């Protein structure tokens, strides 16, 4: 009974970790989506559904053809239509004649319900074992995200080619494979040093490199196929980037219940209150807050990505110009769907980077 | 002089009109509602609204801009949901603050936030909202409380009148009563029976639905709308799904379609959807897949946007009716 799930940037490793911890040995790693995947998805999808639906459907079709028959995806009650992906995809795939089973995981539900639904997908785990597996997952996710952060920094500055890519790939794999939390912590502490030692960087470049955050709807911001690998494009222009949105923080109950720590997304929601006073799904509130927070951290700009027809992010996009004006923080909003052209996208990013570097030069001169 | 409160005639206005109107009138304010959507309002909407919003939200922008110089306050609630788990559309929550941010020259917007599902708001929150709004108009607490009570009573009465009972539904199916406009019976002996399914702000807005109700009754069609369906029938249908359809307004739409697909008691179903409406994109696909599994009752799905032409629209409806006639 091979189990599979949608490809989701570096979170693909996170889902692999949780399944391994749950005792599944029959995991089929999802293929990296290609142009064909998105064409396949769009062919069978409703007309104006958001783009992640089409890409995940395409991935499922490809994986079912390869022999998978258990599909994991997010579900449950939420604000936007993401929780209704699986019922629709189930009907579509049934009509295409596949035989399979869906495992919807209610990611925004109460922790206990989340654990229970993970248990149904597990290989006969008890509740306690499931909680332990979940805990291991969120701790490993912290390091996965740390690797991403280092990766996007070193890739912008490296002198040789592809060193950072190779090292990040290795580190991700190592984190997935590592046994025991003690070993993991020891390895995690060495990570910054490891990157520093292995990759030769341009020190002069580091001083005045631009820093741009990538925020937006979480799937588009994190899945390189869908966002046309925005991080790589920016890194190649010599810009240090980071992911403003993080999946790890949402599942990190260890840090969530710690009363002495405020997580970045909680801070973002607080500072966004005057502009958008309540959650309305997606990452709308967090994105507005990030404009203010990243200005305070002295970052140079934000790139905001969202899929076509995404309901909450249209709200962000409408409010963001005002916030960006008030805080003097450059903000580029780009809509993405399966027809987005690579060249047009590249041109806009280059123009944005040019604008920022000119602004920075002016500031340094004065 | 009385303070003027503006209510744009779009989106949730069609659902909560009696409550809002009674409340502000009881408080001693003058309620100004924008007129039925006209060509002018549509042009304003298309010009000023963010281009990716759905057509209905765009029309909301049009109505609000039309009203902005005529009122002292706007009333645009940030309405999340009135159910324990099910929610409305995220755009209803963000709308007030989007308008506030895009048009700084607007008069003060009264925007209470109420959401039972995600924020766990209850009666205490309602009381607070009522007082916060009430104190803008009068300092008499008794008057505020009275206004609140009467507003909810008016809403309840309106809904009782709107939603028919199961008995009435059966009578309608047997052609004993009419629920909407009387069909024109010059052309045919027996009226066709169609279910007209969609959001309240589409079915009641004659510009956005391209006058479909008048059009249908002229052709001798007797309709029932999804807004009128008995709530118990819809909840029964929703129980049959293996997932929870958590968009509160889609439940009504899909419930009606599933009920008539299952029972085959009427001649056809006509579903109206708005282009780029998020919840509708899900409901359209679910409905069409269910109809493929139970194909006895024909289902026509029409998607409307600001570019839809009346001629193309009525041609498709005529073809649908011809097809039903040939089947019978």
- Residue B196 bridge partners (DSSP): B225, B270
How many residues in chain A? 366
- Residue A214 bridge partners (DSSP): A243, A303
Query: Is residue A101 assigned to a domain?
Result: yes
Close Cβ partners of B30 (under 8 Å, ≥ 6 residues apart) = B2, B3, B4, B5
Q: Give the CA angle between residues A285, A288, A292 to the nearest 5°.
A: 130
Chain B residues contacting A via beta carbons under 8 Å:
50, 52-53, 78, 80, 85-87, 89-91, 93-94, 97-98, 101-102, 113, 115, 117-119, 241-247, 275-276, 278-279, 281-282, 284-286, 289-290, 292, 303
Q: How confident is the model at residue B254 (pLDDT cuts 50, 70, 90)?
A: very high
Task: Answer whether residue B284 shows pLDDT above 80.
Answer: yes
Structure tokens belonging to residue B14? 């069609």
Pair (A214, A338) in one structural domain: yes
Pair (A337, A216) in one structural domain: yes
Pair (A34, A91) in one structural domain: yes
Task: Answer whether residue B258 shows pLDDT above 90.
Answer: yes
Close Cβ partners of A193 (under 8 Å, ≥ 6 residues apart) = none
Task: Answer whether residue B142 shows pLDDT above 80.
Answer: yes
Cα gap B64→B62, rounded to integer Å: 5
Cα gap A182→B183, rounded to integer Å: 77
Q: Higher model confidence: residue A203 or residue A297?
A: A297
Pair (A154, A247) in one structural domain: no
pLDDT for res A291: 93
Give backbone dihedrals phi and psi of B273, rounded to 5 degrees, phi first. Answer: -130, 160
Interface check A113 vs B, CB under 8 A:
no
pLDDT for res A340: 83
* Torsion, Cα of A164, A165, A171, A175 (10° steps): 140
Q: How confident is the model at residue A48 (pLDDT cuts 50, 70, 90)?
A: confident
Cα gap A58→A72, rounded to integer Å: 14
Task: Answer whether residue B180 shows pLDDT above 80.
Answer: yes
Interface check A91 vs B, CB under 8 A:
yes
pLDDT for res A185: 92
Pick the closest to residue A291 from A257, A339, A325 (CA basis): A325
Query: Is residue A234 assigned to a domain?
Result: yes
Are the CB atoms for A216 and A230 separated by under 8 Å?
no
- Domain end, chosen from A66, A101, A125, is at A125
> What H or E segment, with its residue span, contains residue A194?
helix A181-198
ipTM (interface pTM) = 0.92
What's the mean pLDDT when you consider all of chain B? 91
Q: Say if the Cβ atoms of B275 and A281 lie within 8 Å.
A: no
Mean pLDDT for B125-141 is: 92
User: Using one digit for the tens of pLDDT, what is the confidence trace for A5-43?
Assistant: 999 888 899 999 999 989 888 899 998 999 899 899 999
Mean pLDDT for B72-89 is: 90
For A51, the 3-state DSSP assignment is helix
Neighbours of B323 (CB within 10 A): 12
Q: Higher model confidence: residue A124 or residue B130?
A: B130
For A138, the 3-state DSSP assignment is helix
Residues in chain B with CB shorter than 8 Å from the CB of A49 are 281-282, 285
Query: Is residue A130 assigned to a domain?
Result: no
Pair (A191, A308) in one structural domain: no
Q: Give the CA angle between residues A267, A77, B304 to the nearest 5°.
A: 105
Q: How far is A116 from chain B (nearest CA, A)?
A: 17
Q: How confident is the model at residue B143 (pLDDT cuts 50, 70, 90)?
A: very high
Find, in chain A, the residue whose alpha carbon is nearest to that of B286. Answer: A88
Pick the closest to residue B87 from B99, B95, B98, B78 (CA basis): B78
Q: How far is B179 from chain A (nearest CA, A)?
A: 33
Mean pLDDT for A48-61 is: 92
Query: Is residue A132 assigned to a domain?
Result: no
Q: What distance lies between CA A93 and its chain's CA centroid?
A: 26
User: Using one digit for the tens of pLDDT, what is the confidence trace for A301-337?
Assistant: 999 999 988 888 999 999 999 999 999 999 999 998 8
pLDDT for res A47: 84
Are the CB atoms for B60 and B44 separated by under 8 Å?
no
Residue with tokens 């064909």: A36
- Residue A335 bridge partners (DSSP): A306
Pair (A240, A312) in one structural domain: yes
Cα gap B247→B281, rounded to integer Å: 12
Structure tokens belonging to residue B99? 């308008």
pLDDT for res A125: 85
Pair (A364, A307) in one structural domain: yes
Pair (A75, A169) in one structural domain: no
Q: Say if the Cβ atoms of A318 and B102 lie within 8 Å.
A: yes
Task: Answer whether residue B82 shows pLDDT above 90.
Answer: no
Q: Which residues of A160-184 are buried (b: 16+ CB within 10 A; e: fewer)?
A: eeebbeebbeebbeebeebeeeeeb
Q: Say if the Cβ atoms of B52 and A314 lie within 8 Å.
A: yes
Nearest to A46 among B90, B101, B281 (CB): B281
Cα gap B294→B45, rounded to integer Å: 40
Instruction: Pick the residue of A306, A315, A337 with the most B CBs within 10 A to test the interface with B by mutation.
Output: A315
Q: Say if the Cβ atoms of A91 and B278 lie within 8 Å.
A: no
Mean pLDDT for A230-246 is: 91
Pair (A228, A326) in one structural domain: yes
Task: Answer whether residue A204 shows pLDDT above 90.
Answer: no
- Residue B115 bridge partners (DSSP): B81
- Domain end, chosen from A66, A95, A125, is at A125
Q: How far is B182 from chain A (nearest CA, A)?
A: 35
Structure tokens belonging to residue B28? 């001693």
- Domain end, chosen from A125, A153, A185, is at A125
Mean pLDDT for B304-328 is: 89
Q: What distance lies between CA B231 and its chain's CA centroid?
A: 15
For residue A156, count CB atoms less than 10 angstroms from its CB and return exposed for 0-12, middle for 13-18, buried for 19 or more.
buried
User: Using one digit for the tens of pLDDT, what is the confidence trace for A246-259?
Assistant: 888 888 888 888 88
Structure tokens belonging to residue B304? 């409307």
Which residue ranges form the domains of chain B, and what is each CATH number? 4-161 (3.40.50.11890), 165-327 (3.40.50)
For chain A, the distance separating the N- and C-terminal CA atoms, rounded to the nearest angstrom, is 65
Interface check A254 vs B, CB under 8 A:
no
pLDDT for res A321: 92
Query: CATH number, domain at A350?
Result: 3.40.50.11900
Q: Say if the Cβ atoms of B90 and A322 lie within 8 Å.
A: no
Task: Answer whether residue A353 shows pLDDT above 80.
Answer: yes
Q: How far is B226 from chain A (nearest CA, A)?
A: 21
Query: Is residue A91 assigned to a domain?
Result: yes
Sign of CA dihedral B292, B297, B303, B307: positive
Q: How confident is the model at residue B60 (pLDDT cuts 50, 70, 90)?
A: very high
Structure tokens belonging to residue B17? 């009109």
Residue with tokens 């109950």: A253
Task: Answer whether residue B58 shows pLDDT above 90.
Answer: yes
Structure tokens belonging to residue A213? 């955050």
Pair (A291, A310) in one structural domain: yes
Q: How confident is the model at residue A175 (pLDDT cuts 50, 70, 90)?
A: very high
Pick the closest to residue B79 from B95, B60, B63 (CA basis): B95
pLDDT for res A200: 86
Pair (A149, A224) in one structural domain: no
> What H or E segment, with its residue span, contains residue A9?
none
Residues in chain A with CB shorter than 8 Å from the CB of B81 are none
Residues in chain A with CB shorter than 8 Å from the CB of B303 are 47
pLDDT for res B133: 93
Which structural domain, as residue segments, surrounds residue A185?
A: 140-202
Q: Say if the Cβ atoms of A49 and B78 lie within 8 Å.
A: no
Pick the closest to residue A309 from B90, B64, B79 (CA basis): B90
Task: Answer whether residue A1 shows pLDDT above 80.
Answer: no
Close Cβ partners of B189 (under 8 Å, ≥ 6 residues apart) = none
- Residue A201 bridge partners (DSSP): A158
Are the CB atoms for A56 and A40 separated by under 8 Å?
no
Mean pLDDT for A239-243 is: 92
User: Using one digit for the tens of pLDDT, what is the confidence trace for A261-281?
Assistant: 888 888 999 999 999 888 888
Query: Is residue A134 assigned to a domain?
Result: no
What's the mean pLDDT when you consider all of chain A? 90
Query: Is residue A71 assigned to a domain?
Result: yes
Pair (A65, A167) in one structural domain: no
Residue with tokens 């405020």: A262
pLDDT for res B328: 80
pLDDT for res A86: 93
pLDDT for res B40: 92
3-state secondary structure B186-198: CCCCCCEEEEEEC
Q: How far is A274 from chain B (nearest CA, A)?
A: 9
Query: Is residue A131 assigned to a domain?
Result: no
Q: How far is B258 from chain A (nearest CA, A)?
A: 15
Number of domains in chain A: 3
Cα gap B60→B13, rounded to integer Å: 10
Q: What whole-number percentage of chain A has pLDDT above 70? A: 100
For residue A230, count CB atoms less than 10 angstroms from its CB and return exposed for 0-12, middle for 13-18, buried for 19 or more.
buried
Task: Answer whether residue A359 shows pLDDT above 80.
Answer: yes
Mean pLDDT for B226-238 is: 92
Indicate the angle between helix axes A51-65 and A35-44, nearest 10 degrees: 110
């Amino acid at each position: 009974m091979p189990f599979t799930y949608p490809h989701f940037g570096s979170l693909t490793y996170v889902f692999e970790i949780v399944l391994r911890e749950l005792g599944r040995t029959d995991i089929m790693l999802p293929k990296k989506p290609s142009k064909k995947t998105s064409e396949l998805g769009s062919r069978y999808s409703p007309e104006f559904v958001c783009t992640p639906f089409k890409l995940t459907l395409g991935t499922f079709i490809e994986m079912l053809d390869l022999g998978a028959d258990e599909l994991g995806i997010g579900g449950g009650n939420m604000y936007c239509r993401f929780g209704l992906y699986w019922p629709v995809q189930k009907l579509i795939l049934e009509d295409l004649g596949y035989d399979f089973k869906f495992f919807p995981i209610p990611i925004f539900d109460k922790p206990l319900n989340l654990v229970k639904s993970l248990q149904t997908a597990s290989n006969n785990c008890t509740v306690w074992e499931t909680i332990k597996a979940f805990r291991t997952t969120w701790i490993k996710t912290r390091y996965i995200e740390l690797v991403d952060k280092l990766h996007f920094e070193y890739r912008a500055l490296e002198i040789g080619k592809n060193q950072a890519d190779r090292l990040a790939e290795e580190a991700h794999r190592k984190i997935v494979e590592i046994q025991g939390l003690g070993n993991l912590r020891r390895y995690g502490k060495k990570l910054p040093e490891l990157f520093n030692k292995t990759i030769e960087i341009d020190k002069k470049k580091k001083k005045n490199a631009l820093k741009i955050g990538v925020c937006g709807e979480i799937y588009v911001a994190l899945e390189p196929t869908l966002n046309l690998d925005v991080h790589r494009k920016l890194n190649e222009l010599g810009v240090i980037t980071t992911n403003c949105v993080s999946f790890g923080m949402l599942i990190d109950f260890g840090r969530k219940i710690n009363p002495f720590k405020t997580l970045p997304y909680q801070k973002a929601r607080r500072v966004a209150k005057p502009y958008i006073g309540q959650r309305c799904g997606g990452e709308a509130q967090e994105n507005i807050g990030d404009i203010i927070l990243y200005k305070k951290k002295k970052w140079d700009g934000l790139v905001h990505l969202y899929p076509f027809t995404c309901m909450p992010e249209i709200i962000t996009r409408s409010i963001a110009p005002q916030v960006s004006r008030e805080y003097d923080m450059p903000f580029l909003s780009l809509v993405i769907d399966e027809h987005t052209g690579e060249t047009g996208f590249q041109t806009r990013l280059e123009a944005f980077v040019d604008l920022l570097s000119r602004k920075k030069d002016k500031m340094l001169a004065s | 002089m009385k303070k003027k409160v503006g209510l744009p005639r779009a989106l949730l206005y069609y659902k909560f009109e009696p409550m809002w109107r009674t409340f502000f009138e009881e408080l001693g304010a003058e309620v100004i509602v924008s007129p039925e959507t006209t060509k002018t309002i549509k042009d304003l909407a298309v010009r000023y609204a963010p281009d990716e919003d759905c057509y209905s939200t765009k029309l909301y922008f049009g109505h609000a801009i039309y009203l902005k110089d005529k009122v002292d306050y706007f009333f645009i609630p940030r309405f999340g949901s009135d159910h324990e788990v099910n929610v409305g559309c995220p755009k209803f929550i963000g709308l007030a603050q989007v308008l506030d941010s895009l048009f700084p020259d607007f008069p003060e917007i009264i925007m209470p936030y109420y959401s039972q599902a995600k924020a766990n708001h209850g009666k205490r929150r309602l009381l607070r909202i009522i007082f916060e709004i009430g104190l803008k108009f009068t300092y008499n607490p008794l008057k505020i409380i009275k206004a609140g009570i009467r507003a909810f009573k008016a809403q309840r009465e309106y809904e009782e009148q709107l939603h028919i009972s199961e008995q009435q539904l059966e009578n309608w199916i047997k052609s004993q009563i009419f629920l909407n406009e009387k069909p024109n019976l010059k052309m045919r002996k027996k009226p066709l029976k169609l279910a007209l399914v969609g959001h309240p702000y589409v079915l009641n807005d004659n510009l956005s639905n391209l006058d479909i109700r008048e059009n249908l009754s002229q052709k001798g069609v007797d309709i029932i709308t999804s807004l009128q369906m008995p709530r118990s029938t819809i909840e029964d249908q929703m129980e049959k799904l293996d997932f929870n359809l958590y968009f509160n307004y889609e439940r009504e739409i899909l419930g009606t379609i599933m009920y008539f697909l299952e029972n085959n008691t009427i001649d056809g179903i006509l579903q109206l959807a708005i282009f780029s409406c998020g919840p509708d994109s899900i409901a359209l696909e679910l409905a069409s897949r269910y109809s493929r599994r139970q194909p006895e009752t024909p289902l026509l799905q029409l998607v409307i946007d600001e570019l839809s032409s009346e001629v193309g629209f009525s041609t498709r409806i005529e073809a649908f009716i011809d097809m039903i006639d040939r089947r019978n």
